[in-house]
Amino acid sequence: MRVIAVVSPLGGSGRTTMVAHLASIGARQGQHTLAVELCAQNLLGIHLGMPRPASQGWAALAATDSWWADGSFDNTDGVCVLPFGPAAPETITTLHQLLAANPQWLQDQVELLDVPEDCTIVLDTPQWPSPLAQAALRCADAVLVVMEASARGCASTDAVRAMLQASPATPNVQGIAVTRFDPRRVSQREALSTLRQQWGSQLLPYTVHEDENLSRALAASQCVNGMAPHAQSAHDLQGIFHWLSAVPPLAPLPAPAAGVVAP
C-alpha cells in the first residue's frame, strides 16, 4: 500500500486538482486507488464527477467517534473517494482536538481501511500547517509538494523545508511540482528558474502548464487524460504520475480488526 500526501504552504496552488487527476490516471490504468479529502472545502468530489459537493463525509462521522469510511463512493473511472463532507466549525475543532490528543490518529484510521494491499491512497490536504496537513505528512510514505512559479512560491523555501522535515518520507520520495505554469509570462519563467536553483533535482521536471483543458475537464466531470489525452496538461500530469508510481509500497499491513467495513 502506498500513501501519498499532496501538500502545499500556498493556498490556491491546485492540490485538489492534482489529487483528482493523479487518482483518476491510476484508476484508468487498472490500479486500486483511494482519494481521501482532508480539506473542509469539500470540493474533491466535484473534481471526480459528483454534480455537487458531498452531502456526507468522514469528518462528521469521525467527530462523533463513528467509523470514518462509511461516506465513500466510487466514481466512473473507478476511483474510490472518501470526501470530507459538510462540517460545522465545532466539528473541525473536534478533529483538531483528536489530532492533538493522538498525533497518529489519521495513520491509525488509514491502517484500518480494508483496501487491497496494492492500493494507492492519495491524501488531499488543507494548506500547511493545518493539523490535518501535518497528520497527512506523518502517515505518508511519499510527499508531493504543489507550488506555483511566482514570487510567493520562491519565498516559501523555508516553509517547504520545514514541511518536508516533518515527514518520515525519505528525500528521494519527496518531490516538488510546479502547476499552472504559463510560459508566456516572463515573471513565471524567471520564478521557475529560481525554483530550479533552490530545489535542484527535488523539483520534478514535469511542470503542469496552464491549460484550458483542465477547466474543461472539471466542467465535464472528467480526468483531462481521458477527455484530452494529447493536451499539454495531460502529458505533464502523466509524468508526475509515473514519478509517483516509482515509490516503493509499504509492507502489507495486518488484517483489519473485526467489524471494519471497507470504504
| Domains of the chain, earliest start first | 2-245 (3.40.50.300)
Q: How far apart are CA 112 and CA 20, in angstroms?
A: 23
Distance CA 96, CA 88 (A): 13
Distance set, CA 8 to CA 76, 111, 125, 126, 146 (Å): 28, 24, 8, 8, 5
- Rounded to the nearest 5 degrees, what angle is found at the Cα of 29, between the Cα atoms of 213 and 6? 65
Q: Which candidate, 183, 176, 166, 167, places its Cα nearest to that of 200?
A: 176
The reported pLDDT for the residue numbered 205 is: 94
In this structure, are residues 142 and 244 in contact, taking their beta carbons and an 8 Å threshold?
A: yes
| Side-chain half-sphere CA neighbours of 3 within 13 A | 24
Q: How many CB atoms lie within 10 A of CB 252?
A: 9
pLDDT above 80: residue 84: yes
Closest CA to 34 of 67, 70, 80: 80
> In 10 A of CB 170, how many CB atoms?
10
pLDDT in tens, 174-213: 999 999 999 999 999 999 999 999 999 999 999 999 989 9
d(CA 26, CA 226): 12
What burial letters (b/e) apply to 71-103, b meaning 16+ CB within 10 Å?
Answer: bbbebebbbbbbbbbebeeebbebbeebbeeee
CA distance 149 to 103: 33
Q: Does the pTM exceed 0.85?
A: yes
- Cα separation, 224 vs 210, in Å, equals 13
Q: Which of 11-20, 69-78, 146-155 has the lowest mean pLDDT?
A: 69-78
Give the mean model confidence (pLDDT) for residues 123-136. 96
Cis peptide before 129 (omega within 30 of 0): yes
Confidence bin at 253 (pLDDT 50/70/90)? very low
Report the run of H or E that residue 81 belongs to, with start and end.
strand 80-82
- The region that residue 65 occupies, defined by phi over 0 for left and psi between -120 and 50 for alpha, beta otherwise, is left
Q: Quote the radius of gyration of the chain (alpha carbons, Å).
A: 17
How many residues in the chain? 263
Confidence of residue 248 (pLDDT cuts 50, 70, 90): low
pLDDT digits (tens, 9 = 90+) for 18-40: 999 999 999 999 999 999 999 99
